A = this chain, B = another copy of it.
């Protein structure tokens, strides 16, 4: 038997046929075109699934279940998308609609949870009894895995690490609160901090790489400049790493997973980032003599969305 994994993004719908062992056997994808009625998107999901099955010389009869990772919040029992801001969805009966085309069990979960599941099944945290993935992108998402299952909490709010309060009365957040973790640990935060530093110290490698235009600064530019030792970039990077270490301390004190995994765009900074955070943790973490969570980089990349969604039914 195989599993269908669907990665529903704001730009693309990517669908894969996934083996019991967590390998992608075949893929198909299409544009999301999010403005359409949800029924049209769901029909495209089913068409892509059938196309991918055909590529793998399989049929719907070979499918055990379908999993969908969504950029939003799901009610797993009812098979609903509670909301999905990027797509303008609220209370969409995704499971029922998809079962009109492929009548198999359908599981729905948040995309960060799904990525965490993929890493825990076939990635860096494979075999861990508990793990937490932090997706360090435009915002910060998170996924919690306990005994091979995603933990989404009692009301679908679990794993929203980006909105843990990191700094009381801190930087205003899009959610209406202040000082949320994602205001300090996202790519957006790196850009904001770099732009602020550049106001005071315009003669730096960040601005040089951005062609002198602060609006063109991105996280990669800042991290590359920090790797080269530019003092302004190093200061921004150190602030970033420090906030991430404080966040990881809080997750460790509360939950103490076997492993914490860094994913998302900022994690492409690689061991440069992971080592910086690892070096800071002993300063913050209690019970210094006891072992703590391992901190590692995600390794599945874009495939995580499909693999993790597929594994929701396992």
Contacts and interface: CB of A to CB of B under 8 A. Distances in A.
A148 to B, nearest CB: 14
B154 A258 contact: yes
Contacts of A144: 254-255
A167 interface: yes
B146 A73 contact: no
Interface string A9-48: 0000000000000000000000000000000000000000
A212 interface: no
Contacts of A247: 165
Interface residues of A, number: 52
A163 B258 contact: no
Contact of A73 (B168, B257, B287): B287
Interface string A51-63: 0000000000000
A93 interface: no
A1 interface: no
A167 B164 contact: no
Q: Is the interface of A mostly helix, strand, loop or mixed?
A: loop
Contacts of A253: 157, 160-165
Contacts of A73: 287, 290
Interface in A217-275: 243, 246-247, 249-258
A292 interface: yes
Contacts of A284: 165, 177
A157 B249 contact: no
B157 A290 contact: yes
Among A177, A286, A291, the one with the most B-chain Cβ atoms within 10 Å of its Cβ is A286
Nearest to A173: B286
B255 A156 contact: no
Across the A-B interface, give the 10 residue pairs with the lowest CB-CB distance, nearest first: A153-B256, A154-B258, A157-B256, A158-B256, A164-B250, A163-B253, A160-B253, A163-B286, A175-B286, A164-B253
14 contacts: A73-B287, A146-B146, A153-B256, A154-B256, A155-B291, A156-B256, A157-B253, A157-B256, A160-B286, A165-B166, A165-B246, A165-B253, A168-B246, A250-B250
